[in-house]
A and B are shown apart, each in its own frame.
Chain A
């Protein structure tokens, strides 16, 4: 039963990855690189040794956090895309506070940076939520514009108030050592941060939140049919606002993770590096299933890390990874067409009144 339920999604995912690999091979061939060489360089760069595997897993964490934020917001019917801005806001807040937390003991400092990230992301998302709930502005547009604002604010911060005194580079001073999130000492290069425990923990929290709490139930009802929820005594506005705030909190935490469990112990203006949008892709590829998203986050992280490795060894532009990520989303969406076609072969005798757009690619019932 369980197998039967999940088989189609597994097939879709595998199919999408195979087709994406084919596209990648074609692009590589066109640019004069043998796919086999590329594959071995890719494997070596992602999981070939402990150091690289550690990097891949650690970089999957922010992606998954953003994906979980998307899943929560989507379930409440709020398709906002402010994750890049919220990642930046969370990271910047965590930086501002973390730089002043050098005196705190390690565990407390780590906790403070994480909470600062969550608060920063949630506050930035709060702007979108407020504009939506009280001013009726489509959350997608306001969040897009806020992303652009956040990018500029971050650029200003690292050139102004938060700029480190040591260099003229647009970056902050080094974080105090106690605020850096600890990593597994056994891995050479210490690339595996302990924050990978967030992968299973946060996914399970989201699953439980959505399926086992009254709040999550109301959220799903609001997302499934907001008007019905309102008539049934569930306030879809309240649910929507809280869902946007939660998603902002996740994105903000992702921002803190990017910086304090990242490769460089400072904040520069490009630290977001596409995590905000790629996190959405991770959720889509996982069919909005929190648990499945762990896997797809690792896949996406491998694409990023491997893309950099390809550039280093074979001189293939690392933006190949971005092309593949974009292609993966389009493929996932197209896979939904095939699924629909198959379903339409045998319509139910009672044509169920389709709700709104079905598209969130096999939205799963948790």
Chain B
């Protein structure tokens, strides 16, 4: 039924896009039909993003053409694509948190400066609610909506603008398993109504659950396309990577040792400046022992950031005790955290882990530089620091011509390896890793996972926080489920299944979640 004889809603033929000497898309052919869910697969850097930016009018192709319903189109800016009926649900929602949901819908180019689209949009959103069941809460601030609600608003926004082709970029990244099921049902409903849907994902389970057809991109070119029913997951992975992937070595059994991080009764307020604001975390009890990986599962916004910030000393805790490496850890500051044997791989690399304007060696030695032997009495020894950086570059396979290059110019994978090198070089007792492979390709992901396992094998303790349940299940020795600011339960790895964890995630009492 996916291949009905019809003009495709969207047809790309021979689309090529170059940036200087680099070819991002090479003669890409792609057909998207009305009524189908089409999965677009590929590693990071395979050209999915560039291709979709061409479709949504952010880029213009150098060669080739894009046809909508058989007519050649050429978008010069995103607004043209929107008007033609192509809408994209971005991974990072494009909503203004300080406006109400209705105002977000009304945000659009105004032809008459004094026009007011809100009444119009309110009526339109009610129509959409009647046909698709997508209800919004028009007068609520977007900042007060949950992730799932924001995603629904994002979809309503596109439908309001008359989108007939909907592109979903990694839509499940921030959703709980239950929310994902709802979204999958919605996607099928929209497709049944005649919308064309593109699903960009790297989670094969999702692709097999909802998609009708797939197209795989590698190095900017199409390497395979066809019906999802006629392909196996292994074949898809091989197409994406260009060769078989090594199986991850089975987890060696390590007997957990002494407790490295102990958290007792931790409570944290949502607004760090205001102890009376509603709690973001309450009554958190955790223990991470030497030689084990404790995974924290939970949907985004369950209190993960607050937990990390409280342990690090970035955010004040209202109550509770924390012990780090056997000693009470009080008067917490990030500096003391590192001095007490902590290390951190944060989720938001660009904002909190690297200074992109500074050189690679400065970033790698950012902490070691402030202690002997790399500095004495406040005076740096740059040549020693560069030597140390070169050593770590070799050890952690950081690909760069020179250590003097600004780290911002490296690829995401190499930046993450540099962060890893810095964090592991201090031989930490405890490593906190938050979404450590986000945005990395298969190879870099593999590297990061191997480093984590080796650290565990050396007797290090790891607190792994991730919104990707598969990652948690694959790596953790024990799994704690965090929902609505509370630990809902701790499960041993042997007993953990998706359903059991998913049930714990959603079993929590309904608390306002923002």
Contacts and interface: CB of A to CB of B under 8 A. Distances in A.
Interface of A: 211-215, 217-218, 220-221, 224-225, 227-235, 345-350, 352-355, 363, 365
B10 interface: no
A227 B351 contact: yes
B350 to A, nearest CB: 5
B40 interface: no
A215 B378 contact: yes
B498 interface: no
Contacts of A346: 19-21
Given A230-B314, A355-B356, A350 B369 contact: no
B138 interface: no
Nearest to B410: A350
Contacts of A355: 355-357, 408
A232 B334 contact: yes
Given A213-B380, A214-B380, A231-B314, A225 B354 contact: yes
Nearest to A350: B411
Nearest to A224: B355
A232 B408 CA distance: 17
Contact of A221 (B314, B351, B355, B412): B355
Contacts of B428: none
18 contacts: A211-B380, A212-B380, A214-B369, A214-B375, A214-B380, A217-B362, A217-B370, A221-B366, A224-B356, A224-B357, A225-B354, A231-B344, A231-B352, A233-B333, A233-B367, A346-B19, A349-B45, A363-B357
B426 to A, nearest CB: 11
Interface string B394-432: 000000000000101111100000000000000000000
Contacts of B314: 230-231
A346 B21 CA distance: 8
B417 to A, nearest CB: 14
B335 interface: yes
Contacts of B370: 214, 217-218
B236 interface: no
The 4 closest A-B pairs by CB, nearest first: A346-B20, A233-B335, A224-B355, A231-B352
B356 A349 contact: no
A320 to B, nearest CB: 37
B338 interface: yes
B337 interface: yes
Contact of B352 (A228, A345, A352, A353): A228
A240 to B, nearest CB: 15
A213 B379 contact: yes
Nearest to A229: B355
Contacts of B380: 211-214, 217
Contacts of B375: 214
Contacts of A353: 350, 356, 408
A97 B222 CA distance: 78
Nearest to B22: A349
Given A231-B344, A346-B20, 15 more contacts: A213-B378, A214-B375, A214-B378, A220-B355, A224-B356, A228-B352, A228-B353, A228-B355, A233-B333, A233-B338, A234-B335, A235-B335, A348-B409, A353-B356, A353-B408
